[in-house]
Structure 1
Amino acid sequence: MANNNQIAFSEEPHFYDDVCQYVDQAAKYTNHDKGLLNQIKACNSVYRFQFPIRRGNSFEIIHAWRVEHSHHMSPTKGGIRYSEMVNEDEVMALAALMTYKCAIVNVPFGGAKGGIKINPKDYTLAELETITRRYTVELIKKNFIGPGIDVPAPDYGSGEREMSWIADTYLTMNPGSLDALACVTGKPIALHGIAGRKEATGRGVAYAIRECVSVADDMKALGLSSGLDGKRVIVQGLGNVGYHSAKYLIEFGAIIVGFCEFEGAIYSKNGFDLDEVFNHRKQTGSILGFSKSQMDFNNSAEGLEQECDILVPAALENQITEKNIGRIKAKIIAEGANGPTTPAAASAFIENGGIIIPDMYANAGGVTVSYFEWLKNLSHVAFGRIGRRYDENENINIMNLIEKTTGTTLTNEQRLMVSKGASELELVNSGLEDTMIRSYHEIREIKLKKNTGSLRTAAFVGAVDKIAVSYMNMGIWP
């Protein structure tokens, strides 16, 4: 159903303004003071800086940012993006989205984001390490990093390796700090990271889609059956988020009929084997030319416009705009990336009866599991370490009692299945699944109760309400 209260969005994409406009749209469904709403939208701290690195016999200036959007919760939290396209507006927008994202999934962080304006492929490993460590030093000098201050994480162009350099640099400059490793998340397991973090965002996207398509009434309105079995999916991006989104969607019964990457796109109505496509690209440097593809497109955008039920943009922002939204054939867009759909395009898609699973909910799996890692680092004990063996022994005792009193003998396979205690990975995945399930239905309930017209507006309504309560409880706002 079209939302009669849709506001007019500018045609030229300005990411931070887009996010603020979404908040303004949600504010119509709240009764909060205008000044409080302005405070919620504003970026509290914007740190823009530059530093030199030596490359051979010359120097290069590196431009970088760290933005702390909201301090209604401490610490602030958000990834560091390594991209030659990164800019201040983008970092501010992503920091703002992190604030709302954390509120939506009830993770007690304020939003933050970082950016380093480089293409990692243009630098040697030693140069990347120098850049990352120098970036960390700059944050330390200005008090923009710390377990209770601001906690970075991986983002586009960065990963476990960069997070380990950040953690080591922080440890070096804070000797004796007991909780120093909680200064950053997304670390390798060997450096007290957490099982399941790498795949968390993609797994969360898959959970979000599964919950959306499980609601029979909503699917009936789209002309689809409920459940993921047989649903045709196109995924844009074969990075960490796109790969794991596809992997778990396949496990849940979906068929991946298309992949889009910057070099082009492939499509097959029969579906693809994810690992075959991934290995082909690894060997050749391109998804094009895959033998089982029925159609190849040199223009990646064409891949988004093919027949499917669900489209998962899991690359960069502003991939679906008012220029191509009319050619999108999917009935559901699940935003694995941050801001892949412009506001004008989103409005048009929803007015035509589609469903958009918004980014600040759909890709919240990463920050959810980062929260678990942060807790693990602060408690200095892995999840499941204390209770796992006890639970196994208790379950064995119960099985022995059942066998003794009933005369039933369980097979070894049955005994192993029942007696097994939960590992850290299983506990993390359980917590992530519960978070995504609860949050989706909370958002959907707001949408139905307040007739917001879209899940995105409903998500922002819920986030704004929670953040406003936090400010008022802090005594900052009367």
Structure 2
Amino acid sequence: METVLPFFEQVNLNFDKAGGYTNYPPGLLEQIKICNSVYHMTFPLKRDDGKIETIHAWRAEHSHHKLPTKGGIRYSTLVNEDEIMALAALMTYKCAVMDVPFGGAKGGIQINREMYSVSELERITRRYTYELIRKNFIGPGIDVPAPDYGTGAREMALILDTYNALTPDKLDALACVTGKPVEQGGMYGRKEATGLGVYYGLREACNFGEDMKLLGISPGLEGKTVVVQGFGNVGYHAAKFLQEGGAIITGIAEYAGAIHNSRGLDVEKVESYRNENGSILNFAGAATIKNPADALELECDILVPAALENQITSENVHHIKARIIAEAANGPVTPAAHDILKKRGALIIPDTYLNAGGVTVSYFEWLNNLSHVRFGRVGRRFEENSRKDLMIAIEKITGKRFSEEEVTQLVHGPEEKTLVNSSLEDTMSVAYNEIREIRNQHIEGVDLRTASFIKAIHKIAISYMELGIFP
């Protein structure tokens, strides 16, 4: 039986493996991987029935080599200090891999949100924000939270409102948190960004014919069978975009169980069914699997763990049949399981790259909030007029007249969401090619996970050396 290491220790194990392929001094490597600041707070909550309950919560700032630090806030009974430190560290490396200029951070509150009323959750969120403000753990240039497991746009709006009420920073206050409702400074495309990034990353990986040949499968996503474990925001959007990209979603798992159909599931219909019934179980035309962990072992080309950490361990890894493991969650594969999958020849696309779509688009939102100008607003009308002038010139030269529908379609300037998705697509493509190149530069021992850590170490080390801290 595998003794699963503490999560932060797992992250540092991967870091140390990558550090061995660099020439940086041990002191610098130690500074990069250490967690700089951790704040554990407790505060009372008066429940709706008048009872008093003590709430435990954390915020960790892993690295200040770039400011602000950045990372989500999760609400879960599994939240503890080790998990928050590990997730903050992963965020540091994720930002470095994606060339996003943030240090890593993470926050969490140890609750099951289903056990609290809407008003109780609001009191918890506002008090947590107050504690962060009190200790200087939040601010547009200090530390910028975002949604994570168990939280969403509503919680981010409450954080913003509380920050506005308690601080004098009115000009840039919108940038104190990302993942907000669009009407309150949020960004079009942020909600689906992580899942869309998973799709872009998988599409990029599957387009390399030589890599797919080693796996014994054809290039491209078309016709690939996919099982998605976790049907929250990330899992749902990953499944949706993968299906639109030609993949066949054969299995979907959530906390209560899983469903499977080897001929494929309609993701939108599954989502509608869940919204109506509160669960995906007993979806028409699919077999119901009572134990959601069993879904990991289904026959498929691509397995997308999109739930929580430590889902694939040495205990179940020998039953995993997928040839590509796409880590949409943070730390879903333990180091021991990773080594077994690697030896078997599977391609593991690591969390330090694949689920970075959220923080990438959060960066765009943060920039928008600081500049007070939405993407595409400046220059959009100029671009449309330039296209119109070009079409008029083409008509004069060719004698061909464009229809009104063609003019409307060809002249229309890009919307913010189009620009955001295009930027995310480019960022995911460039980052994958960079870590793949690092992997290929080493004869043996380096997989995509180690390559992503090597890139992150290099980026962060340069930052420290530019600060003059290390020669």
Task: Find 1:252's aligned residue among 235, 238, 245.
Answer: 245
Aligned to 2:378: 386
Whether 1:474 and 2:459 are equivalent positions in the alignment is no
**Distance in 2 (alpha carbons) for counterparts of 1:198 and 1:283:** 21
Task: Find 1:207's aligned residue among 200, 206, 217.
Answer: 200
Letter in 1 for 2:243: I
**Distance in 1 (alpha carbons) for counterparts of 2:93 and 2:43:** 31
Shift in Å, 1:176: 4.9
Aligned to 1:459: 452
Give the 5 Å matches for 1:179-198: 179-198=172-191
Q: Which moved more, 1:92-101 or 1:58-67?
A: 58-67
Q: List 4+ stretches of structure 1 deviating above 4 A.
A: none
Aligned to 1:345: 337
**Distance in 2 (alpha carbons) for counterparts of 1:415 and 1:144:** 51
Deviations 1:35-88 (A, max 9, x none): 111111100001011001111222111000000000000000000010011110
Aligned to 2:436: 444
Contact 2:95/2:359 (<8 A) preserved: yes
Whether 1:230 and 2:223 are equivalent positions in the alignment is yes
Aligned to 1:137: 130
Give the 5 Å matches for 1:94-173: 94-173=87-166
**Distance in 2 (alpha carbons) for counterparts of 1:11 and 1:328:** 19
Aligned to 1:419: 411
Whether 1:269 and 2:262 are equivalent positions in the alignment is yes
**Distance in 1 (alpha carbons) for counterparts of 2:87 and 2:2:** 19
Letter in 2 for 1:162: E
**Distance in 1 (alpha carbons) for counterparts of 2:162 and 2:103:** 23
Letter in 2 for 1:173: L
Letter in 2 for 1:220: K
Deviations 1:315-343 (A, max 9, x none): 11111111111111100000000001111
Contact 1:196/1:429 (<8 A) preserved: yes
Contact 2:194/2:234 (<8 A) preserved: yes
**Distance in 2 (alpha carbons) for counterparts of 1:426 and 1:173:** 35
Whether 1:218 and 2:211 are equivalent positions in the alignment is yes
Letter in 2 for 1:286: S
Give the 5 Å matches for 1:287-436: 287-293=280-286, 295-436=287-428
**Distance in 2 (alpha carbons) for counterparts of 1:381 and 1:433:** 22
Letter in 1 for 2:218: S
Contact 2:2/2:315 (<8 A) preserved: no
Contact 2:43/2:55 (<8 A) preserved: yes
Aligned to 2:233: 240
Contact 2:4/2:334 (<8 A) preserved: no
Aligned to 2:24: 32
Whether 1:53 and 2:45 are equivalent positions in the alignment is yes
Deviations 1:223-276 (A, max 9, x none): 111011000000011100000001110111101000111111111111000111
Whether 1:283 and 2:276 are equivalent positions in the alignment is yes
Task: Find 1:68's aligned residue among 36, 61, 78.
Answer: 61
Whether 1:89 and 2:86 are equivalent positions in the alignment is no
Q: Which moved more, 1:259-268 or 1:405-414?
A: 405-414
**Distance in 2 (alpha carbons) for counterparts of 1:406 and 1:322:** 67
Change in CA separation of 1:221 and 1:443 when aligned onto 2, cut-off 3 Å? same
**Distance in 1 (alpha carbons) for counterparts of 2:6 and 2:401:** 66
Deviations 1:3-56 (A, max 9, x none): xxxxxx973231000000000000111001111111111000010110011112
**Distance in 2 (alpha carbons) for counterparts of 1:227 and 1:412:** 37
Aligned residues: 469
Aligned to 1:43: 35
Shift in Å, 1:407: 0.9
CA RMSD of superposed structures (Å)? 1.2
Letter in 2 for 1:299: N
Unaligned runs of 5+ in 2: none
**Distance in 2 (alpha carbons) for counterparts of 1:112 and 1:145:** 11
| Helix, strand or coil at the partner of 1:381 | coil
Deviations 1:150-201 (A, max 9, x none): 0000000000000000001111112353101100000000101110000000
Deviations 1:93-125 (A, max 9, x none): 000000000000000000000010011111111
Deviations 1:428-474 (A, max 9, x none): 00110000000000000000012443100000000001101111111
Relative to the length of structure 2, the TM-score reads 0.98
**Distance in 1 (alpha carbons) for counterparts of 2:429 and 2:27:** 33
Shift in Å, 1:288: 1.8
| Helix, strand or coil at the partner of 2:259 | strand
Identity %: 60
Letter in 2 for 1:52: P
Letter in 1 for 2:357: G
| Helix, strand or coil at the partner of 1:146 | coil
**Distance in 2 (alpha carbons) for counterparts of 1:378 and 1:364:** 21
| Helix, strand or coil at the partner of 1:340 | coil
| Helix, strand or coil at the partner of 1:71 | coil
Contact 2:302/2:325 (<8 A) preserved: yes
Contact 1:29/1:450 (<8 A) preserved: no
| Helix, strand or coil at the partner of 2:45 | strand
Letter in 1 for 2:266: D
Aligned to 1:23: 15
Contact 1:307/1:329 (<8 A) preserved: yes
| Helix, strand or coil at the partner of 1:92 | helix
Shift in Å, 1:307: 0.9
Contact 1:203/1:244 (<8 A) preserved: yes
**Distance in 1 (alpha carbons) for counterparts of 2:5 and 2:254:** 21
Letter in 2 for 1:326: H
